[in-house]
A and B are shown apart, each in its own frame.
Chain A
Amino acid sequence: MANSVADNKRAVTNNLSTIYGRVPTIGTDKMRVTFCTDMDKSVIVYNFEKRGWTQVGPEDDWNFYWAVTQSCRTIFSVETGYRMSDNQTINHFPNHYELTRKDLLVKNIKRYRKDLEREGSLLAERGDGPGKYLHLDFIPVTFVLPADYNMFVEEYRKSPQSTWIMKPCGKSQGAGIFLINKLSKLKRWSREARNPFNPNLTKESYVISRYIDNPLLIGGKKFDLRLYVLITSFRPLKAYLFKLGFCRFCTVKYDTSIQELDNMYVHLTNVSVQKHGDEYNSLHGGKMSVQNLRLYLESTRGKSVTEKLFANISWCIVHSLKAVAPVMANDRHCFECYGYDIIIDNKLKPWLIEVNASPSLTSTTVNDRILKYKLIDNIISVVVPPDGVPDVRWNKCPSPEAMGNFELLLDEELAAQDERDNPTGKFRNQSNKWK
């Protein structure tokens, strides 16, 4: 319906090519591809225009919509009653928040662990101490406040000297985050925040997580990783990791002393926080490539520990996705590129901090712009079929060339196929190393 004009055009071109006996080659298909975006980002528009696509408004017939989450919500809401055609694709899943809201992510991962445990899966093997998992312990212990307050206090009492971090569930870019090292500080906060523990009042909810107080430091500074993960389907799961991620450094030396507890330039790695600091350098923006991090780690710590670290990073990404896969509305029109925040601790263990549905596409430096340009370009080339027109009927298996800087994390469909072809598991390829 929405795309009937374009569909007709496509039919016409196909007919013409049969009439004249020509085999249509990629790119010569004259179907007009349209895009729509409500994000004012030049990297996006530039990438679409480079492909010769035409910009249209959200009310028009679009093939590719790069939308903010709000517009997505409108499109998918029942009231709107919008039905997408086969030739339309959009950059969010309807209920992506199952992964990207801080409280829901935790809830889903906890449930996933329980499910696996119930199935008797080896993955759910327990570690030392109550509530500890050997392999699935990749997020810091977290509770939702006010709901889990009592559970939190119980956990808190076990090690009263540890530091915790409070984060509002609905905010981003470091907004509203603070550290606490005493229960009294939490109590004081709750008093000041007027009745937040009265569940009858719809108050902002928070997550409180154990603060990773032993992050890996380079040059004495804390950093986290921003990795991009592209999902083209949740069931079967098809996930790709962008190789050009980066580290985001704090501008002030790491310091765990109490005086510095409120100094966000020490503790929060968000660029949106750091760029207000006096020490912020706009030429590099505090960003170093993950490739250089890897070079540094392999050179100074050795190859096997570094490889293990990066394998563990992939591991925690894959399992966070598996944790939400059952509850995701797996709409075939959708894909999504998530921004993963990961902290590496000084024992080289990665911790998943959060997942963002709309990772920043703002370019803070020249290199950043190049990176984001490549990111968008590679995303489009992975999600669009070889003939260049969005199509839900495509099997979503991009060629190696189309993947650009993405590498396959997991394709359950390919993995299953592999298993059928190679039941002994001898020649398993990439696609099922997570099984």
Chain B
Amino acid sequence: MESTKEIELQKTANKLTDDIQSMTNYKNLYNEIQRLVASRAVRKEDFKNTLVDALKSNGLETELRNTVFHWARTQGPLQREPEPLMPMLEADLSYLKRAQIQWERRIQKSLNSMCNELNVPLARIRFNMDKDELAEKWDELSTYDIDLSQYRPLYAPKDFLEVLFMVRDPSFKKQPGEPNWEFSHIQIRVKTLSQLRAMYPELSHGVPLLGVNPHMTAMGNYLNLEAERTALGERVLASNHAPIAQEFLKRGAPRAIRGKLWSLVLGSIVKDNDEEYYEELKSLVLQYDIMVDKLIIKDVQLTASNDDQYFVFEDVLYKTMLCFSRDSEVLAPVTTDRSAGGQVIHAVLQGKPATLENTLVFPPSGVIPFHGFTMYATPFCYLYDNPCTMYYTFRAFYLRYWFRLHTVSSHEQGIVALCLLFERLLQCHEPQLWAHFRNIHIQPIKVVFKWLMRGFSGHLPPEQLLYLWDLILGYDSLEIVALLAVTILSFRKENLMQVNTLHNIEAVLADLSSLKVMPLLQLVLLKE
């Protein structure tokens, strides 16, 4: 017993040491520690103890701990599975994987046919003139004038939803009379409301949260809750411990320190080598002209540029999204995740012989944008003035959560699971609404799908959205997004019951500007 445990531990330690060496901030850490070893704080006679003390006293120990924390997060599932009530045979979900592979092929096909139609290559070396113009306008890409009238987004959330509707468990027999759109036959385990209550104790126990009432009285000598949370948050930041910061976010972040807290939790604090890497991404954008660039620019134009909450950030969003497309560090996590189909396009640079050095992964990040993709990045514009800082936190957030929202995945944090969770919660807790939707032949998921797929970005006012994303980070889970969708329907139930066309239902749900996320979620998790 004991020895197997030890062997396990040893294995993990070995893996950890291996993996750390390939992490981006390894060099930094290594140099820092070397410097420390050479300093007078560490003595040869008592090497180990003095080194450990020195690591502790100059904060490197915390850095190491955070590194392990971030490493551990990339290893395990986002959260421990809820214990099944009955031992259930692990369902065979390989059909989801097959559906995803098909979906990826479809996207690639339409990408190719768009290229053919428009007579543009997937990739080429950027022409010098274009390169100069792009370089010159890098900080003001809204004035980079190219004709995009022929470009269309490859797909929109509703197209993706159609794909999800087609997913069938081959072993599932449809009961007569059952609508053929429900996700309920897909055997991904999702939580019940009472399991959610257990998972979100801060919300379900009614502890004071930010975003409910900032003037709420506080403990101790603080003027109000916000002052109390700010003072505590400052201490959390000073400790520099990522897990503590994560814990802190469960009750909502004060605006002024949210950006720092998020970077700490996600391990996306910018170091020197990160800045260099960001510059490299820029130079890759300048060097290669890839077709996805047009889709990216088009998407920013169709979304953020037209949005009164985000238009002022248009220019920084162009940069961010273009750099992201060149980021090959994104490729591995998104294509090897179990939610991925793993289909990677290789494009040969136009006019070059098809050799290895003329071939690139297309796009280098492996992520092909769709309509609204930019919305994953927009909220970060409110948090960070520096484009580089913004970039890394956006990227970390995407790699932790968002990329599974546009793949057919069996992951508990993927879009299929969220749809299923939404459906179950609605059916169990709003049976009347559920029946109403059934009677008027409208799939409830249809009206909330874009909320889920975008994590509500662009649908909630930024302030409320940031609170929601605090909770995602704090509890390290997207389930709150599905719960919020149900809660909104429940909140607008009376109005929904009075309408019976898709158009009118969408009208009832179009304006979410008056919603307060924290009180709503607290309310739904509180009542028993």
Query: Which A residues are within 8 Å of any B CB, using their own CB?
Result: 218-221, 249, 253, 279, 281, 283-289, 291-292, 295-296, 298-300, 302-303, 365, 367
Residues of A within 8 A of B519 (CB): none
A315 to B314, CA, bound (A): 33
Chain B 17-61 interface mask (CB, 8 Å, partner A; 1/0): 000000000000000000000000000000000000000000000
A303 to B234, CA, bound (A): 13
CB distance from A105 to the nearest CB of B (A): 29
Known A300-B384, A302-B256; contact A221-B312, beta-carbon cutoff 8 A: yes
B382 interface residue (CB < 8 Å to A) = yes
Q: Choose among A219, A286, A300 the residue with the greatest number of B CB atoms under 10 Å from its CB.
A: A219
B462 interface residue (CB < 8 Å to A) = yes
A42 to B312, CA, bound (A): 30
Do most interface residues of chain A lie in helix, strand or loop, or is the interface mixed? mixed
B259 interface residue (CB < 8 Å to A) = yes
Q: Choose among B254, B255, B314, B463 the residue with the greatest number of A CB atoms under 10 Å from its CB.
A: B255
A219 to B316, CA, bound (A): 8
CB distance from A251 to the nearest CB of B (A): 10
A220 to B142, CA, bound (A): 11
Residues of A within 8 A of B258 (CB): 299
Which one of B142, B230, B307, B383 lies within 8 Å of A299 (CB-CB)? Answer: B383
B312 touches A288 (CB 8 A): yes
A288 touches B139 (CB 8 A): no
Known A221-B312, A284-B311; contact A292-B462, beta-carbon cutoff 8 A: yes
CB distance from B209 to the nearest CB of A (A): 18
A281 touches B306 (CB 8 A): yes
A367 touches B308 (CB 8 A): yes
B305 touches A253 (CB 8 A): no
A367 to B466, CA, bound (A): 21
Do most interface residues of chain B lie in helix, strand or loop, or is the interface mixed? helix
B308 touches A303 (CB 8 A): no
List the A residue with the shortest CB-CB distance to B314.
A219
List the B residue with the shortest CB-CB distance to A282.
B306
B315 touches A299 (CB 8 A): no
Interface size class of B (residues with CB under 8 A): 20 to 34
A299 touches B139 (CB 8 A): no
Known A220-B139, A300-B259, A303-B256; contact A288-B309, beta-carbon cutoff 8 A: yes
Instruction: Offer 18 A-B interface pairs, CB within 8 angstroms, sorted by A.
Output: A219-B315, A221-B312, A279-B142, A281-B306, A283-B306, A287-B308, A288-B308, A288-B309, A289-B309, A291-B461, A291-B463, A292-B309, A295-B463, A299-B256, A299-B382, A300-B259, A300-B382, A365-B308
B313 interface residue (CB < 8 Å to A) = yes
Residues of B within 8 A of A291 (CB): 461, 463
B385 interface residue (CB < 8 Å to A) = yes
A288 touches B311 (CB 8 A): yes
A97 to B458, CA, bound (A): 42
B140 interface residue (CB < 8 Å to A) = yes
Q: Choose among B308, B309, B314, B315 the residue with the greatest number of A CB atoms under 10 Å from its CB.
A: B308
Residues of B within 8 A of A292 (CB): 309, 382, 461-463
A287 to B382, CA, bound (A): 16
Residues of B within 8 A of A221 (CB): 312
Chain B 283-320 interface mask (CB, 8 Å, partner A; 1/0): 00000000000000000000001111101111110000
Which one of A281, A287, A299 lies within 8 Å of B305 (CB-CB)? Answer: A281
A295 touches B382 (CB 8 A): yes
Residues of A within 8 A of B140 (CB): 220, 253
Residues of A within 8 A of B313 (CB): 219
A298 to B254, CA, bound (A): 9
Residues of A within 8 A of B382 (CB): 292, 295-296, 299-300
Known A219-B312, A219-B313, A288-B312; contact A300-B230, beta-carbon cutoff 8 A: no
Known A219-B314, A219-B315, A253-B140; contact A298-B308, beta-carbon cutoff 8 A: no
CB distance from A259 to the nearest CB of B (A): 16
A221 to B142, CA, bound (A): 12
B311 touches A303 (CB 8 A): no
A219-B316, A367-B308 known, 10 other contacts, Cβ within 8 Å: A219-B315, A221-B312, A253-B143, A283-B308, A288-B311, A292-B463, A299-B258, A299-B382, A300-B384, A303-B256
Known A281-B305, A283-B306; contact A299-B312, beta-carbon cutoff 8 A: no
B462 touches A218 (CB 8 A): no
A289 touches B308 (CB 8 A): yes
CB distance from A297 to the nearest CB of B (A): 9
